Structure 1
Amino acid sequence: MDYILFGLIAYVLGSIPTAVWVGRAKYGIDVREHGSKNAGATNTFRVLGKKAGIVVLSIDIIKGFLAAFLPFVFKVGEWQSDQLITVQILASILAVVGHVFPVFAGFRGGKGVATSLGVIIGIHPPAAGICIGIFLVVFIVSHYVSLGAICAALSFPVSIYFIFGIRSIWLNSFTILLAALVIIAHRKNIQRLLAGNENKMNLFKR
């Protein structure tokens, strides 16, 4: 029942289409009809501006964090026990799936990067710090959000295994799966990066 309950809660949390609801409520715009036609924070920054983008980014991160952290709050197993980690992983995956395929927005969502970050923060905050650092460095240098997200996603399994020395088959497999999901979601961006026509963004530009 723990698996079913937290899986359902996590999917519902992930399915909250922040970008769609903020765009419609405040601007009368469906962000999925503009820009990259993606219901995520990056497209919200492009289409609606920084204020809306920050709101969407923050809420999407919180969604993932709550999904990963709820099993711990409700004490599903002991700290770092196999049961707790398994429930966290299930909830985390379903939260990201909910963001990409939200039941409240016709199953047309975002790419799950911000929600994945929230998941990582909920499961392993130090690894999340490394991912954020790598994202910022790559993004600031290249101005490619997609490249920063891909590099950050790849750094998650690497940091968990090599830096923090965690040898849990469930957690290690999850980190690889999450990185793969982010990369698959960015497959079109990868094609544009290779072709040299990916969109750039400069958050520090007025």
Structure 2
Amino acid sequence: MQLWLCPLLAFLLGSIPFGLFIARMKGIDIRQHGSGNIGATNVLRVVGKKHGITCLILDALKGFIPTLLAITLIRFEGQNTAFTFHGLLDQGYVFPLADQWKAQTLHVVAGLCSILGHNYSPWVGFKGGKGIATSAGVLIALAPLVVPVLIVAWLLIFLISRYVSVASIGAAALLPFVVIYGSWRHGKLASGEWNKPLFIFSVVIAVLAIWKHRTNIKRLMEGTESRFERKKKAVS
């Protein structure tokens, strides 16, 4: 049951349009303002910083929680993970070590389902956000050491460009390289023990994230993309 239930729950949880709900609490239909996106960036611009951060956290959690649930309920012998729902370990299905790739594949499938649920939510006409926060939540569960590197990269690109979209695209493009470097750095690439499903997943979500930013890319080329300007200090 865990093998099909985890991806299904991941999609359903991922499809919850938190950005839409948060904006509606303020009497705003977020789809009619700013970029029309229900993600955290548009919520921040339209509704405010506090609400944007709340949306960011909730969108990340709906990627983290179902992925962690899959890691807990679908395991392989000798699996060593940073996080699990310890109270559910006895309910899990354990693959033999030789089939660890099957468990790893199901982990990333659950993560991908949560991202697809966010990007193409059935509750808002199969539309949604760009999946950056939800992808970050998934990666915290799958490969927690990757996330700080991507956050630093995102911040550096954002501080230089002042475009959220450019920072997100840059971090997404960097993801597969960070994953493969981590495998090489720990000697798993040479031994053949590296997590191949995770690398494939990193490529897929990188492409998906860039694809979801295609309208931003068009606006960047046209010079009409919204930019976060530095606040000028008042002259006394």
Query: TM range, normalised to the smaller chain?
Result: over 0.9
TM-score for the superposition, normalised by structure 2: 0.81
Shift in Å at residue 188 of structure 1? 1.1
Question: Is 1:172 aligned with 2:171?
Answer: no
SS in 2 for 1:28: coil
- Secondary structure of 2:75's counterpart equals coil
Please tell me whether Structure 1 or Structure 2 has the larger radius of gyration of its CA atoms. 2
> How many residues of Structure 1 are paired with residues of Structure 2 in the alignment?
205
Could you say what the CA RMSD is over the residues aligned between the two structures, in angstroms? Answer: 1.9
Structure 1 residue aligned with 2:118:
99
Query: SS in structure 2 opposite 1:189?
Result: helix
Write the mapping of 1:23-102 to structure 2, written as runs, cut at 5 A: 23-24=23-24, 26-78=25-77, 79=79, 81-102=100-121
Whether 1:187 and 2:199 are equivalent positions in the alignment is no
Q: Which string of whole-angstrom CA distances, capped at 9 and with x for unpartnered residues, describes residues 47-94 of structure 1?
A: 101011010000001111112211222253342632331111111111
Unpaired segments of 5 or more residues in structure 2? 81-99
Amino acid at match of 1:145: V
Counterpart of 2:12 in structure 1 is 12
Change (3 A) 1:70 1:205: farther
Q: Is the 8 A contact 1:130 1:155 kept in 2?
A: no
The 1:169/1:152 distance shift into structure 2, 3 A limit, reads: same
Cα distance change on mapping 1:36 and 1:115 into 2, 3 Å:
same
**Range 75-84 or range 121-130, more displaced:** 75-84
- AA of the residue aligned to 2:163: Y
1:39: how far off? 0.6
Mapped pair 1:140 → 2:167: no
Q: When the two structures are superposed, what TM-score results if normalisation uses the length of structure 1? A: 0.92
1:27 Cα deviation (Å)? Answer: 0.6
Gaps of 5+ in 1: none
1:154 paired with 2:167, answer no
Question: Hey, what's the Cα distance between the residues in 2 that align with 1:85 and 1:140?
Answer: 35
The superposition leaves residues 158-193 of structure 1 with CA deviations (integer Å, 9 ceiling, x where unpaired) of: 011124325433221111001000000001111222
